Every structure is written in structure tokens, then in C-alpha cells.
Structure 1
Amino acid sequence: MDPLHLWPEPLRAQTWTGDAGDLTALADDVDTLLAACGREVTREHIPRVTAEARRLARHFRVPEGAAAQAALLHDLGGIVPRGEMVPLCRALGIPIYPEERQVPMLLHAQLSVVLARERYGVTDEGVLQAIRYHTTLHAAPNPLDLVVFLADKLEWDQGGAPPYQAALRRALRDGLEAGATWMLRWMASPEARLLVPHPDLRAAWAAFGVTARG
């Protein structure tokens, strides 16, 4: 069964016949789909994250094309209304944590992975993994995971520059892992105002020696 029949109508109405390796065409299709679904915040967020992912990838010698592809697709699962994320994931056979039932938006990364595979034909497991963990990171991230995670945090979708942006950029002078450690510590602080820590985030905290505060 083609899982795409379960998705919002604009997705089903706009088919993709291109090559996901053509990043210009991919960016255009993603933008068109987000516009059709009325996701203007995400539509503005994704190009900024992609530009940042490219910059970080070049600086840290991570494959730029893979970073850009993951960044273009990382939030696409957000086209699904939050109230429909849990039922859709259940229908797709995606395991759901209790924390994800409590905060369904935490499922958007897994839905983005499904779209990357099913709509765009992405088969690079490294790209799919970076999409999957861009919100939370995980216990054993590779450089591509770190690039996409940090690009998403440097160019967040909350309007304006994040309050920690300058400090995170300073931390990145010591490398991707130093930047990730700093970001994870911030996410473990009261300032982050997390509704609920995802199990993958808790695993990342443990792996990076971070203790939640507050």
C-alpha cells in the first residue's frame, strides 16, 4: 500500500518525478508543497537552515550535498496537522513513544523521513538519519547529524535570531562536538522550556555528559 494516500491533499495532488539529487529542483518542490499546505513559517525556515547547513558542512568538511538535501527535507513532515500525526504514524507502522503522544509535533521528523523516502526517493541512510534526529540528536551522532542538528538550532523557526545564537557560534569554534555539547546543555536548561524531553534527547544528554537542570 502506498502510504502517501494518507497524507494531506496538496501532497497527493502534487506528484514528484524529479531527481532528489537535483537540489535546485528539490528546493523548488519543497517550497511549492509548503506553500500549498499553508506552512509559511516552515517555508521561510527551511532555506535558512539549508544555507547554514551548507556553511557548516564546508567549514567542517562534511559532504555539502548531503547536508543540503537533509536540511531541505528535515521539516517537511510538519505539513501534517498536529492532531493527525499520531494516527498517521500509527497507520504507517511507526513506533510512537509516550512523549510523542503527549507532544505530537515530536513525530514530524519521522514523517519527514517517510516523505524523503517515499516521495523523493532518497536512499542515502546518512541523509535519512540526519533528518530523523535533527530535533533531538541521539547517542552516537556522526558529523552529518551534527551539522543538520546545529543548523536547525542556529536558524530556528521561532522568529528572529535565537537568544543563544552568538554563544553557540563561539562554541563551534572548537568543533562540531563542542557546538553540540553547548546546544544540548542549553536544551537541558530551564531557558529551553521543553514541554517534554524526547527519549532520543535524553540519550544524547547522557552520551554528551549533560544533566538536565530545572
Structure 2
Amino acid sequence: MDGAEWLTTLQRTCAPSGELAADVDALFAAHSRGITREHVPRVAREAGRLAQRFDVDPHHAEIAALLHDVGGIVSGAKMPALCESLGLPIVPEERQVPMLLHAKLSVMLARELYGVTDAGILQAIRFHTTLHAQPTPLDMVVFLADKLEWDQGGVPPYHAQLWSALEQGLEAGTHWFLGWMASPQARLLIPHPDLRAAWRAFGISAPD
């Protein structure tokens, strides 16, 4: 897949109207991503709520949440070749689990298709799956909103415990969830290097 041609086609066929929520919804509909189409607005609402609760800009949180999964319009099997064509770096873990690349594609689309230039918003999109060693409050809000409103159907098994941890603050909730991700219950296929960096930064013992 040629990245430049792919992006040009998207810019022509999915040109933004100025109403981001509607534009993202139309993008997912056009690519038959029904589960993600339902997941994303729920994450945006949750991100807005968490942002207000923890004194983070809710507008920035909602923008990042609306765009966090737009890279998922590409199938996982096609992501490595597309990222290479676009000049996006790929680490070995992303070759083993290609869907981990969707966050990098989401950043590129946020910037090139939707005109997002705010570095904080782009960073929150980039690390919404794994977090990283020095997360901002916005990063943590989008990361946790994505997990509270997951796309696996039903209520996440950790939902009540994560909400309880958030009673102690945003960092406490983030620490608790990172710990859960290091547990056998998470059933991670492979930890991303950014997730391992977050574990180290939060003092969490990483699985082998």
C-alpha cells in the first residue's frame, strides 16, 4: 500500500467538515468499523468527564479521544507496510502485533487529515494504548478513558477496581491500571517498549 496515495485518497474522500465527531463517525462508517465507531464516542464522553474531574482541558481530552483510534481503519495485516511507506518507525514488538501501530497512524491522520497541531493532543493519541515513562495528565485521562470504555463488549473486569483507585487521584488510578496490565489477567500478547517504560516509571514489576 502506497502511503502517499492512501492519504491523498482519504483527504479527497473524507475531507473534514469542521465537525470532528461527525467526521470521525463518517470515517469509521465508510470503512465498516462498527465496533470502533461505537467505542470512540463513549471514550470521548468518558475522557471529557475525567478531564473535568482532574482539572485537565476537556476540549483537548475529547479531541484526543475522538481521534485515538482513527488509525484502526487500516487492517492490522496492512499496517506495517503502510507505516513503512509513510516513514513511520516500527519496533520489533509492533511487527509481532501489528495492531500496536494503529496509534502512530492515528497521530498521522490527526495531523494530516484533521489538522491537529497541538503537541499535547498528539502525544495523548500516540500513547493511549501503552502510556509511557513521563505521561501528562491529558495522556493519563485518554489512556484510562479508553480502558474504562473498552471495545471488547460488556463491562471490563477491572472496571470497579479502577474506579475505586481513581478516588485517590488520577496518578493513583493510572498506577493501579498499569499494575493490572502487568498481571496475568491482562493476557497481553506482548508488552510494548513504551508500556515497559511506563511500568518502570511507576515502579511496577514487569512480567518476563
Task: Calculate the TM-score normalised by the size of structure 1.
Answer: 0.93
Deviation (angstroms), 1:143: 0.3
Give the Cα separation in 2 of the matches to 1:17 and 1:194. 35
CA contact (8 A) 1:14 1:33 kept: no
Give the Cα separation in 2 of the matches to 1:8 and 1:40. 24
**How do residues 16-31 of structure 1 correspond to structure 2 at under 5 angstroms?**
16-19=15-18, 25-31=19-25
CA displacement, residues 154-182 of structure 1 (integer Å, 9 cap, x when unaligned): 01111111000010000001111100000
Q: Please name the residue that 2:145 is paired with.
A: 151
Give the Cα separation in 1 of the matches to 2:94 and 2:8. 20
Q: Please name the residue that 1:49 is paired with.
A: 43
Aligned pair in 2 of structure 1 residues 211, 8: CA closer, same or farther (>3 Å)?
Answer: farther
Give the Cα separation in 2 of the matches to 1:202 and 1:51. 28
Q: Please name the residue that 1:22 is paired with.
A: none
CA contact (8 A) 2:104 2:126 kept: yes
CA displacement, residues 100-132 of structure 1 (integer Å, 9 cap, x when unaligned): 000000000000000000000000000000000
List runs of 5+ in structure 1 lacking aligned partners. Answer: 20-24
Q: Please name the residue that 2:5 is paired with.
A: 5
Give the Cα separation in 1 of the matches to 2:109 and 2:135. 22
List runs of 5+ in structure 2 lacking aligned partners. Answer: none
Q: 2:45 corresponds to which letter in structure 1?
A: A
Q: Please name the residue that 2:13 is paired with.
A: 14
Q: Please name the residue that 2:194 is paired with.
A: 200
Q: Please name the residue that 1:105 is paired with.
A: 99
Q: Please name the residue that 1:58 is paired with.
A: 52
Segments of 4+ moved more than 6 angstroms: none
CA displacement, residues 64-104 of structure 1 (integer Å, 9 cap, x when unaligned): 00000000000000000111100010011111000000000
1:177 counterpart = 2:171: yes
Deviation (angstroms), 1:4: 5.0
Number of residues paired by the alignment?
207
Q: Secondary structure at the match of 1:45?
A: helix
CA contact (8 A) 1:134 1:149 kept: yes
Deviation (angstroms), 1:189: 0.5
CA contact (8 A) 1:86 1:96 kept: yes
Deviation (angstroms), 1:8: 9.9
Give the Cα separation in 1 of the matches to 2:32 and 2:182. 32
Give the Cα separation in 2 of the matches to 1:46 and 1:81. 17
Q: Secondary structure at the match of 2:152?
A: coil
CA contact (8 A) 1:8 1:79 kept: no
Task: Calculate the TM-score normalised by the size of structure 2.
Answer: 0.95
Identity, in percent, stands at: 64
Deviation (angstroms), 1:28: 0.4
CA contact (8 A) 1:134 1:152 kept: yes
Q: Please name the residue that 1:69 is paired with.
A: 63
1:160 counterpart = 2:154: yes
CA contact (8 A) 1:52 1:155 kept: yes
Give the Cα separation in 2 of the matches to 1:18 and 1:137. 31
**How do residues 75-114 of structure 1 correspond to structure 2 at under 5 angstroms?**
75-114=69-108
